[in-house]
Amino acid sequence: MPDHFSFEVEAAGPAGRAGVLQTPHGAVKTPAFMPVATQAAVKLLAPEELEAAGTSIVVANAYHLYLRPGVEVVAGVGGLHRFMSWPHAILSDSGGFQIHSLAPLREVDDDGVTFRSHVDGQLLRLTPELATDIQRDLGADLIMAFDYCTSYPTSRREAEKAVALTTAWAARCRAAHDSPSQKLLGIVQGAVFEDLRERSAAQLVEMDFFGYAIGGLSVGEEPAQTAAYAAFTASLLPEHKIRYLMGVGRPEDIAPAVTAGVDMFDCVVPTREGRHGTALTAEGRINLRQSPHRNDDRPVDAECGCYTCRRFSRAYLRHLFLAGEHLAGRLVSIHNLYYLHGFVARLREKIMPEKN
């Protein structure tokens, strides 16, 4: 497949920057929110519903798909796009964060990670080369270098270890990356230590990745810290490369990151909160399970054009939740994604120059 990748910044200013990411599976206008399709599916939602909500790119997880159904199954049917019937862009995470979250089940050394599967307890080994090969075979458009992530709080010694391993592993991923139909992104680590983030960014930028992710944040620190360190890290990255803040999906966290020059975000928040009855609106979060909505005939958001708000009342949604109907979570997830994509689109509009 020819190289159909590019990233262009169309406008930039105090409100952030707006661009277009071109991939072999379509264009992505940035800033962009990416719903999480961990197991090759965004929970409860069909591809058509994602499209209707405004989704142009999703995030799949290499670690989870490696465990089940297995890379050979996905590759055997032609790759992730065909497997999950998603014709648009896909980014795959390398599994570094998932390995991090399995701390009691894993052992890290310079070469890679030995861990026990959370599915069946099988002892497995993951190296930067294997993580790259897995993502190649899955067939995502954008793939991530294998990194070492820390929690918050963490010691400086542990943060230094994360930077050293992430840099060494990124170089190995770069060497192993051999697919012209994919682009590889590096991940900046450094926790809440600015000098370590400077070191990590400088080392990765020297390797000249297609783009760069801001990692090691949204792992337990306060939102103000996330915003500050995301902005600091973004300032260290090349202006002509895509910037991706990992694990951030609340509107109040996305807005300052966009102002700081970040282009892409991913998080389970809109669908997870939707499944539990929380709707995102311009006035804040609404808990649809609460009794004030028992007789409320209004839509979730009168200004919203999503399928849920066009068809259903708050009273009906509350009834579905209390009755244990899965449709409830599906309908609110549709609304939340529609709302969040619209929120990000409005941020983009503020950045783009007005047309005469």
**pLDDT, position 1:** 41
CATH architecture of structural domain 6-267 = Alpha-Beta Barrel (3.20)
The whole-angstrom separation of Cα 85 and Cα 46 is 9
pLDDT (0 to 100) of residue 356: 41
**Listed residue (141, 199, 209, 201) closest to 173, CA to CA:** 209
% residues pLDDT > 90 (the chain): 91
> pLDDT digit string (tens) for 244-261?
999 999 999 999 999 999
Lowest mean pLDDT among 26-30, 106-110, 262-266: 106-110
| pLDDT tens-digit readout, 37-62 | 999 999 999 999 999 999 999 999 99
Q: What is the mean pLDDT of residues 295-311?
A: 97
**Residue 304 · residue 323 · CB < 8 Å:** no
How high is the pLDDT of residue 3? 60
pLDDT digits (tens, 9 = 90+) for 94-133: 988 777 777 677 889 999 999 888 889 889 899 999 999 9
Q: Which residues pair with 62 in a beta bridge?
A: none
pLDDT in tens, 151-176: 999 999 999 999 999 999 999 999 99
Overall average pLDDT of the 219-233 stretch? 97
Q: Say if residues 6 and 314 touch (Cβ distance below 8 Å).
A: no
Predicted TM-score of the model (pTM): 0.96
Active site residues: 93, 266
How far, in Å, CA of 81 to CA of 333, rounded? 22
* Lowest-confidence pick of 104-113, 129-138, 206-215: 104-113
Mean pLDDT (the chain, rounded): 95
Q: What is the pLDDT of residue 246?
A: 97
Structural domain boundaries of the chain?
6-267, 268-356
Residue among 165, 158, 4 nearest 96 (CA): 165
Average pLDDT over residues 134-138: 98
Average confidence (pLDDT) over 305-327:
98
